[in-house]
Amino acid sequence: MPADTQAVPSPSDTGAILEVRRVINAPRERVFRAWTTPEEVKRWSAPGRTEVATSEIDLRVGGKFTLGMRSPDGTPHDAYGEYREIDPPQRLVYSWSWVQEPDVRDTTVAVDFIDLGADGTEVVLRHEGLPTQKHRDDHNQGWTGILEKLWTYV
């Protein structure tokens, strides 16, 4: 994990909680736009060599999103959810579910975009409701890789 990316795991009564932080050297509005525009999401929102094949976003409270990722071997990793809170360019909260992994359904992702002025934007992602510590650890790898790609992209 890069020195400027931090993961802070903690248990909860409803499952595992993951918090990942990353400073992005770009203005908050730019980082928020990259996170919420389907064409841009396709360029960075999958870890490692995994690619985003499809991205659909209906950016409104109650609006839905889908994210179709594909591993280099063609394995699908399809996520979907619904926006619960949108406060541009400061915060997003949405549900997160995997099509191929029924244990991870209706978890909650909250993303805060903290303006650091000339130093860029700190992205603080908190993923709650993961059913086990193993799921938390797997998502830690995924989110950390995704934030690294976002850092490179913007």
DSSP string, the chain: --TTEEE--EEETTEEEEEEEEEESS-HHHHHHHHH-HHHHHHHSSSTT-EEEEEEE--STT-EEEEEEE-TT--EEEEEEEEEEEETTTEEEEEEEESS-TTS-SEEEEEEEEE-GGG-EEEEEEEEEESSHHHHHHHHHHHHHHHHHHHHH-
Instruction: Give the CA count within 13 Å in the CB-facing half-sphere of 96.
Output: 19
Instruction: Give the integer Cα–Cα distance in Å for 94 and 92.
Output: 7
List C-alpha distances in Å: 40 to 7, 107, 108, 130. 24, 24, 22, 27
Instruction: Give the integer Cα–Cα distance in Å for 151 and 81.
Output: 24
Mean pLDDT of the chain: 92
pTM here is: 0.89
Q: Please name the residue that has the structure tokens 């992005």.
A: 24
Provide the residue type at 127 as one letter: H
Instruction: Give the integer Cα–Cα distance in Å for 18 and 5.
Output: 13
Per-residue pLDDT of the chain (154 residues; tens, 9 = 90+): 444 554 444 444 446 799 999 999 999 999 999 999 999 999 999 999 999 999 999 999 999 999 999 999 999 999 999 999 999 999 999 999 999 999 999 999 999 999 999 999 999 999 999 999 999 999 999 999 999 999 999 9
